[in-house]
Structure 1
Amino acid sequence: MSHEEDLRRIAAQERRLVFDRFGQDEAWALGCWLRQAGLVLAEGAVLVVDVSLHRQQMLRLTVGAATPDHDDWVRRKRNTALHFVRSSYAIGLNLAQQGTTLEIKSGLPLRDYASHGGSVPLVVKGAGCVGALTVSGLPQRDDHGLAMAALAHVQGRDISDITLATLAL
């Protein structure tokens, strides 16, 4: 798929995957589903999941042997999704199309922001962005696909027509 097609699908995912409400129960449901998904990945895979609500960590889990580096990637990708209220993967694809970086385009330090896939804003109808779901440890396209699949599962929505997923779960 081209960057343009991916960006079109991501925009559709972001429009469709809006919560009616989001709290501890939804955070737990995301974590449970992602843990199960992480367990079926190839042996040796690492998956780190973070669910943050109002900039407070609600849930963090790992599957596999995570390192502090994984936590740093989570923090940087989450910062990007929260700053732009867009998926970190969409931000990265947009920047690649423009031939620029977060640092050059927005003045954001690469130490604190990452334009790699895996973090998606948690948007509530009538309230806007209330937090972020971040997945890290896989290739960025797979991190993004897994995060969106989790949102779709918890919301009971079908996104098969707009999925980017390359993982077989």
Structure 2
Amino acid sequence: MTSGRSLDELIREEEELQFDSFTHDTALQIGLTIIELAKAQGKAVTIEIRKGAQQLFHYAFEGTSADNDDWAARKARVVERFGRSSFYLETELRGSGKTIAERYFLDPSQYAPYNGAFPIRVRGAGVIGAVAVSGLPGDQDHTLVTSALKRYFASLL
């Protein structure tokens, strides 16, 4: 079960975790930070970082499967389609009592409205990609991504 975060809280988090610029090296740094945090917690996840249609980073821990690759890609499509985190859409759909197919007429085999994908939002450019994680229960995928982003931004200070 996911935590009771409000849509407003999730929007504020997205506004806080914005980039001034985003490069391939940025994707690498964030991906490695997610790996470091997951290893420290003894967690096995799949990580995908996309900029537009290009995959910039992918890593799958031992113990994950191709299913996790698919989940990460489907969560990232939610970010690309809606410009919000997949956790935001999960929360919004839960509040509406509808599925993604019922509310938006989207195929759930292509779009996974569950936490774990976060928008790469660049100031002045908008959403240019997504960071997605798959493999953990509850809202832990989302928390792993946002923890890595917070650590990345703190390293810039």
| Shorter-chain TM-score above 0.5 | yes
Tell me if structure 2 keeps the 8 A contact 1:118–1:140. Answer: no
Matched AA of 2:20: D
CA–CA distance in 2 between the matches of 1:52 and 1:76?
Answer: 12
Match of 1:107 among 105, 108, 112: 105
Q: Which runs of 5+ in 1 are unaligned?
A: 158-169
CA contact (8 A) 1:39 1:63 kept: no
What letter corresponds to residue 72 of structure 2 in structure 1? V
Partner of 2:86: 88
Deviation at 1:140, TM superposition (A): 4.0
CA RMSD of aligned residues (A): 1.6
Does residue 76 of structure 2 align to residue 78 of structure 1? yes
Task: State the shift of 1:6 in Å.
Answer: 3.4
State the identity %.
30
Distance 1:150 1:2, change over 3 A: closer
Structure 1 position 135, deviation (Å): 0.8
SS of residue matched to 1:134: strand
* TM-score for the superposition, normalised by structure 2: 0.92
Q: How far 1:2 sits from its partner (Å)?
A: 6.7
Cα 1:2–1:35 shift into 2, 3 Å: closer
Aligned residues: 154
Q: In the alignment, which residue of structure 2 is the partner of 1:122?
A: 120
Cα deviation code 1:123-151 (max 9, x no counterpart)? 00011111100011001401001111111
Match of 1:167 in 2: none
Q: Compute the displacement of 1:63 (Å).
A: 2.0
- Counting only pairs closer than 5 Å after superposition, residues 15-94 of structure 1 correspond to structure 2 as 15-42=15-42, 45-94=43-92
User: 2:78, 2:39 → 1: CA distance?
Assistant: 27
Q: Which residue of 1 aligns with 2:145?
A: 147
Identify if the C-alpha distance between structure 1 residues 56 and 75 changes in structure 2 by more than 3 Å, giving closer, same or farther: same
Tell me if the contact between 1:38 and 1:63 (Cα under 8 Å) persists in the aligned partners: no
Matching residue of 2:13 = 13
In 1, are the aligned partners of 2:3 and 2:139 still within 8 Å (CA)? no
Contact 1:74-1:134 within 8 A present in 2 as well = yes
